[in-house]
Structure 1
Amino acid sequence: MVQVLLGLLGILLVYYLIYFVRDLVASRGNWGGGSFLVSGIIGFVTDAMDTLGIGSFAPTTMLLELTKQLDNDRELPGTLNVSHTIPVIIEAFIFITVVKVAPLTLFALVFAAIAGSYLGSKTVSKLPEKKVQFYMGIALIVTAVLMCLRQLGLLDLLGTGNAMTGLTGIKLVIGVIGNFILGALMTIGVGLYAPCMALVYMLGLSPLVAFPIMMASCAGLMPVAGVNFIKSGDYARKVSLAITIGGVIGVFIATKFVTGLDMNVLTWIVIVVVIYSGVTYIRKGLR
């Protein structure tokens, strides 16, 4: 089962790379503003944090805003999805291990997330900048709340005593609809990890089962969403390439060498800054 899933992710990676590389070549000399070095550092830091379980979308949004890397905020959703696609797929290849999950449940939820991201990316790319700013602000606040719940252990409480490894009947339908919505929300910047974990907990699945589902969902949906943003041109090319390169390095460094960090303190700092960034974007969107 794991080999089949990794094979599908490999195919999606190739599919994504064809569009990404072709677009960069066709647009050479017109990759937009931003600093390659600064964006690369952002990718290194945020994807290292993602590998350690903090997530990458909210910190990337925060750092891109602080360093003023984007020419306009309308490029933000596309840049997030395009720039983190390859690092997230690498994370999936590294961390998806043999976990007993009912095949129907795993594939149904993963493909629901992919379908949601396809629809969401088609919609988000047509939004005006003010609406993107407003929705990004809401997305950041929602992400911060979910991060708080996870830090306080409240999400884990939902899964206490759960032992199921698969869904059937109405619970499977709810899971598919839920992950479809989460896949669509990923395209406006709402990270999938925490809400997906809450979803599978509430449906009665074992906490361990959450990990292959949420990691495979992200690795499956991001190439699809990323290609749609690439086709529409609604992303920052130079920034996305730099974050991708820095992010790949960050994933491997975090996997092999990062130990002893006080992740609890770091996560709370990120939450505070994410809330501040969310309020800032909401104000921009309403201004």
Structure 2
Amino acid sequence: MINIVRVLLVAFTSIFGFSFFRDIAKAKRENSFEEVSAKKAFATGFATDFFDTLGIGSFAPTVAMMNILKMNVSDRLIPGTLNVCHTIPVVVEALIFTTVIKVEPITLISLIGAAVVGSYVGAGVISKMDEKKIQLIMGFALAITAVLMLLAQLGLMPGGGDAIGLSGVKLAIGVVGNFILGALMTAGVGLYSPCMAMIYFLGMSPDIAFPIMMGSCAMLMPIASTKFIKEDAYAKKTSLFITIGGIIGVFIAAYIVKSMPMDILKWVVIVVIAYTSVTMLKKAFNKEEIK
């Protein structure tokens, strides 16, 4: 059954890749790329997907790096850009981690399927939202992400258990939870931290979080991202170079670095995400005051 998941991952990603690179080629022909530094986008992809492979997550750090490097991506385009640019790197991660970490197939497939359905519903809604609503959603989501990471750093997150699968009520809770997280991910809300928290709460082994959260993201992102491409709701040049840098970052993290001391980096990420959350919310509320 795990092999079926991998086959579907490759199939969905192939469809996404065709749409993505066709759209990129069209933008290049029409000279409609946004004004952004390819080097900054590449560096952002390399750094965020490198640490994503080690379990930090890529969405919130990407938003933070976009602000720090002043990449000037419109807030309205951020959710689509996050999904599109990280799709291929996350699929590579999922193919690696579903191979090396054992998880009960029914649990893996059920939670991944729920996230996919949630993302399909969410992408259609988010791609049509105005900038202010997206700023509010992302601002609060980044704040929640920072809180979850802080709880984990302080050792206040439940420690999980030894289970490699779920059944009964716990499986139902996991399915509903991942459906919601899949929908929120299309708004630019990273799935990693909340998914890891949910898996801990349900008594599963912390290691199981990796194939579930990476598999969920990898399966839902090609579908959601194809919708964002269709709606022209993403930054094209930024997404292309983040993708290229991200793929390289994943392979280096997975096969060369494998693990590293993360405590100091996690504290830095928490502070940066919290700051980015405040900045995003200030933009949204300032617009409200102007009106």
Q: State the TM-score, normalized to the length of structure 1.
A: 0.93
3-state SS of paired residue (2:32): coil
Counterpart of 1:224, as a letter, is I
User: Cα offset for 1:158?
Assistant: 4.0
User: Cα offset for 1:14?
Assistant: 0.5
1:215-248 deviation per Cα after TM superposition (whole angstroms, max 9, x unaligned): 2111111111111111100100000001000111
Counterpart in 1 of 2:17? 17
Counterpart in 1 of 2:166? 167
Percentage of pairs with the same residue: 53
Show the 5 A alignment for 1:122-137. Answer: 122-137=124-139
User: Cα offset for 1:135?
Assistant: 1.3
8 Å Cα contact 2:46-2:242 kept in structure 1: yes
CA distance in 2: counterparts of 1:76 and 1:256, whole angstroms: 30
Gaps of 5+ in 2: 287-291
CA distance in 2: counterparts of 1:250 and 1:209, whole angstroms: 22
**Do the aligned partners of residues 132 and 147 (structure 1) sit closer, same or farther apart at CA in structure 2, a change above 3 Å counting?**
same
**Do the aligned partners of residues 260 and 174 (structure 1) sit closer, same or farther apart at CA in structure 2, a change above 3 Å counting?**
closer
- RMSD between superposed Cα atoms in Å: 1.7
8 Å Cα contact 2:142-2:277 kept in structure 1: yes
CA distance in 2: counterparts of 1:259 and 1:101, whole angstroms: 20
Show the 5 A alignment for 1:175-190. Answer: 175-190=174-189
Counterpart in 1 of 2:110? 108
User: Cα offset for 1:171?
Assistant: 2.3
8 Å Cα contact 1:47-1:250 kept in structure 2: yes
Counterpart in 2 of 1:238? 237
State how many pairs are aligned.
284
8 Å Cα contact 2:114-2:176 kept in structure 1: yes
8 Å Cα contact 1:136-1:278 kept in structure 2: yes
CA distance in 2: counterparts of 1:166 and 1:207, whole angstroms: 12
Counterpart in 2 of 1:267? 266
Q: 1:144 aligns with which of 133, 143, 146?
A: 146
Counterpart in 2 of 1:206? 205
Counterpart in 1 of 2:94? 92
Moved over 6 A (4+): none
CA distance in 1: counterparts of 2:218 and 2:134, whole angstroms: 24
Gaps of 5+ in 1: none
Counterpart in 2 of 1:27? 27
**Do the aligned partners of residues 211 and 259 (structure 1) sit closer, same or farther apart at CA in structure 2, a change above 3 Å counting?**
closer
1:6-59 deviation per Cα after TM superposition (whole angstroms, max 9, x unaligned): 111111110110110111122221122211111111111111111121111111
Counterpart in 1 of 2:289? none
8 Å Cα contact 1:134-1:283 kept in structure 2: no
Counterpart in 1 of 2:285? 286
User: Cα offset for 1:261?
Assistant: 4.5
8 Å Cα contact 1:43-1:242 kept in structure 2: yes
1:158-177 deviation per Cα after TM superposition (whole angstroms, max 9, x unaligned): 41xx3333333332222111
User: Cα offset for 1:98?
Assistant: 5.2
Structure 1 stretch 145-154 or stretch 119-128: which is displaced more?
Answer: 145-154
